Structure 1
Amino acid sequence: MRPKILLVEDDVNLVELIRYNLDKEGFDVVSTPDGEEALVLAEEERPDVVVLDWMIANLSGIEVCRRLRRAPETTSLPIIMLTARAEESDRVRGLETGADDYVTKPFSPRELVARVRALLRRLRPALSGGHLEYSGIVMDTSAHKVTRDGQSVQLGPTEFRLLRHFLEHPGRVFSREQLLDAVWGRDVYVEQRTVDVHIRRLRKAINGDGLPDLVRTVRSAGYALDSDASLKMAS
């Protein structure tokens, strides 16, 4: 699966340059020049990284970043800010708002690609190869095997796809509708409560022998794979 980038930039020429270079390096790119639309796309497209310009239409990049961090569904979404502002105070403001990295214009496309890859390696290590890992869970996507703390975990096909989706986006909250689209497919009709059934099966499979629950339920929002799940549910 090619990692997906949401590019929020209103310079048409720069968009085409960035898109060309990211596509060449194995990324899918969805773009918009509009801050309000960026918030919608972040929820609908479920990108792996957002590349966000500071100065965009309708809503500033800083405000888009702030709102993405506030929403449970996008709170852990990696964000790289693009800006012509070179002052240290501006860089600090961007990072304090929630950006994970900061690239000052002008920049080379190779630098941006390198920053995106570095961010994915750091925050989304599950996307770096055929083995997905998180908090003791290891999934071999080629051999279709899963272990937790070295012990084999037996999963049905749907639970396997569900866990894979969570492992590709650790910490991120997904609604039932989003999980249906990602795991079952947009063209398949399945009732939302079906998700709850498979979440219970997944919990039973990976949390056996009294291990901490790694699946967090977020009331009125959905589910996430979270190493602090048991603590947050208890608090």
Structure 2
Amino acid sequence: MLNEDFLGRIAIVFVMTVMATSGALPLFHYFRQDTSTSSLAIVTQVASTVFLLLMLVMTVTRLPPKGTAQGIEPRLTSIAGTFMILLALNLTPALQNEGAQVVALCLVFIGTASSIFCLYWLGRSFSLMATARRLVTTGPYSVVRHPLYICEAIFVLGMILSHFSALMVALGALQFLFQYRRARNEESILQQTFPEYDDYARRVPMLLPQFLGGTIPNSGGQ
């Protein structure tokens, strides 16, 4: 009988394959034709495609779960936190301001490139759902407990600026709330699974590095 983790892996692989393919197709157009697309936009598209492909690889090769958050709420929160920004992009038009778009592209590139670094470091522990596979406490995870979410937040800020509107700001804020709740769900299951997690959480702040005024709550996450 197929277990829940296997079925979830199949679903994520399918979605990420579609997204990676959709992201890669414009690159063939950029490179085969003389277009006015900026180099920054092309590099950003390449980075986004690499990030999706890396997520795909990590999902296929990820470690078996040692603990998983129970109930429907953690699953819905994870899905909303991952895909809310895509819904927002389809509901709002791009801002017709060249300067704003350049800044937005820079934020998207920085967020995507740093997310690739964090995802590579997380490796086979990666999971969209609140699941404990292996406790990662080194690299960017020695600075804050959720570096990948911080990097993704930079990406989302770029998307908000690119499609700036009251609706986009509201949906972006909603995604930030989902991501925060998602992080708390992850912390809960990691704390239950790994006895050494409490010590890690006391040493490393949740979201803001200590040199930026980050605090170190007693409960913690990956």
Q: Compute the TM-score of the two structures, normalised by the length of structure 2.
A: 0.28
Higher strand share: 1
Greater RCO, 1 or 2 (C-alpha within 8 Å, sep 6+): 2
